[in-house]
Amino acid sequence: QVQLVQSGGEVKKPGSSVKISCRASGFTFTSFGFSWVRQAPGQGLEWMGWISVHNPDTSNAQKFQGRVILTADKATNTAYMELRGLRFDDTAVYYCARSGPMRFDTSGFYHFWGQGTLVTVSS
């Protein structure tokens, strides 16, 4: 069955970086893309970015330009999201979600999600 397993929670200092992994199984990793979504306490879902494993393509929300780096390791079927320059308001649960392999893709919805990774930014 399709599974996305994320790395564990992290506590980080302001200004530092966090890198979250999302290990995929149960499907052909290279046929899809992965989106990253976060939810801050008491807030809604916020799209951060997307990476295609199928093609060399990636896209980030304008808000995170220059701070988020998305990568995918085909050898280990793992997607990664690194967020740099952490601020207090980056405290949130971060989710990976399987998405389509193309930018304009009718399969770009998120049927499968990782369990979420809580990142707490605290001094």
Partner 1 sequence: ETVLTQFPGTLSLSPGDRVSLSCRASQAVGARYVAWYQKKPGQTPRLLMYGASTRPTGIPDRFSGSGSGTDFTLTITSLEPEDFAVYYCHQYYGSPHTFGGGTKVEMK
Select 10 or 46, whichever has its Cβ closest to partner 1.
Answer: 46
The DSSP symbol for 122 reads -
Q: Min. distance of Cβ 16 from partner 1 in angstroms?
A: 26
Measure the CA–CA gap between 24 and 78, rounded to whole angstroms. 6
Which of 10/105 has CB closer to partner 1? 105
Residues forming contacts to partner 1 in the complex (CB under 8 A) are: 35, 37, 39, 44-47, 49-50, 59-62, 95, 97, 99-100, 103-106, 108-111, 113-116
State in angstroms the smallest separation of the CB of 103 from partner 1.
5
Query: Based on CB atoms, which residue is closest to partner 1, 5 or 16?
Result: 5
In the complex, minimum distance from the CB of residue 88 to partner 1, in angstroms, rounded to a whole number: 22
- Give the full edge-to-edge strand order of the sheet including 68-73: 3-6, 18-25, 78-83, 68-73
Q: Find out whether 75 and 42 touch, Cβ atoms under 8 Å.
A: no
Nearest-5° Cα angle at 76, 72 to 82: 35
